[in-house]
Amino acid sequence: MDENGSNKELLKALADHFEAQTRVIAEGHGMLAEGFTALREQVGKQDERLVRVEQRLVAFEAQTASNFAAQGERLDRLETRQDHFETRQDRFEERQERFEQRLSEFQAQTKTDFSELRAMIKLSYAELDNRIVSLERAFVDLKTRVERLESGRTS
């Protein structure tokens, strides 16, 4: 029985060892299962966060596209205003050139008219001077005649 007893003890020790190893494996499996469950929960939470981030990115992309479209419209309106302003500026410059041309023509005409007026005034002064000189001579002649006539009466 020694051999039998020793086999039994050996078998019992082996069974205890297997039972202990099975418990360790079961505990490890439980820990792994808990770890996998926790990992699944974390992955699930990360997936939810990624979905929210993706949703926010989609909303951001839509807002950005909308902003770009609005900025494009504003830029188009600004370019239209700039074109309108440039057209008005061109018209203003044309009007200014016409005004400057008319002013130059007016100045030239005024200068010519002034020269003619000055010549007319000189002519008028010359004529008036001639008339005055002629009247003075006639007066002197008349005065001389009157004096001769008066002296002839008194004598």
Which alpha helices (H) appear in the chain, and where do they start and end?
A: 2-154
The token pair that represents 26 in the structure block: 């079961």
**Helix H or strand E encompassing 155:** none
What would the pLDDT profile of 36-73 be if each residue is shown by its tens digit? 888 889 988 999 999 999 999 999 999 999 999 999 99
- Given this model, what pLDDT does residue 116 score? 86
Which one is predicted more confidently, 57 or 28?
57
For 75-133, how does the pLDDT look when each residue is reduced to its tens digit (9 = 90+)?
A: 999 999 999 999 999 999 999 999 999 999 999 999 998 888 887 777 677 788 888 99
120-152 pLDDT, tens digit per residue, is 777 677 788 888 999 999 999 999 999 888 887
